[in-house]
Amino acid sequence: MPYIPTAPDIKTKVADTIRARRKKASDLNAYIRFGTDRDEAGRYTTVGGALVTVEARVHSSEHRSWAGNVPNGYEQRVEISAVAKCHGNGCPSPDFMKEHSGYWPLDDDADKAADAIVPLVQQAREWAQKHAEKCRAQAYDGR
Ligand SMILES: [Zn+2]
């Protein structure tokens, strides 16, 4: 039987992504403290033959804080969202996004934010699946 790769569990993947960002941010490099990490969470083919992709996104940023427990007065935060995008050429409604309204400190347990992203990714996957069943925009072939 041929080897069939299986996509990693999105919760595990996102938790790893947050831990990697935390590790990089600990050296206080400003370019590392800000940014968006993207983990692929799904790929669908539309009836028109185009691709719909789903991504789990982790946004890292830094905010001034006057809370006493925040070292050097800046709190590093993690915000999460899930995005689906249809890449069909001329697709009339190619974008779907679901954002979580809250945030987590970067130093927090990475599993909490990773847990919270699962239902967002699920909604993006459902949108992608439904969109793929009816979208007839073809993939852009460069001509
Ligand atoms: Zn489409």
Cα 8 to averaged position of ligand 1 atoms, centre (Å): 26
Cα 46 to averaged position of ligand 1 atoms, centre (Å): 7
> What's the pTM?
0.89
Q: Are the C-beta atoms of residues 86 and 50 closer than 8 Å to each other?
A: yes
Distance CA(81)–CA(29), nearest Å, equals 24
pLDDT tens sequence across 85-116: 999 999 999 999 999 999 999 888 999 999 99
Which two tokens mark 87?
A: 């890449």
Cα 85 to averaged position of ligand 1 atoms, centre (Å): 8
Cα 96 to averaged position of ligand 1 atoms, centre (Å): 11
Cα 30 to averaged position of ligand 1 atoms, centre (Å): 37
Which residue ranges make up each domain of the chain? 28-134
Cα 77 to averaged position of ligand 1 atoms, centre (Å): 33
Cα 21 to averaged position of ligand 1 atoms, centre (Å): 32
Distance CA(46)–CA(93), nearest Å, equals 13
Q: What is the DSSP string of 56-93?
A: EEEEEEEEE---TTSGGGEEEEEEEEEEEEE-BTT-SS
DSSP state letter for 139:
B
Query: Which residues of the chain register pLDDT less than 70?
Result: 28-31, 71
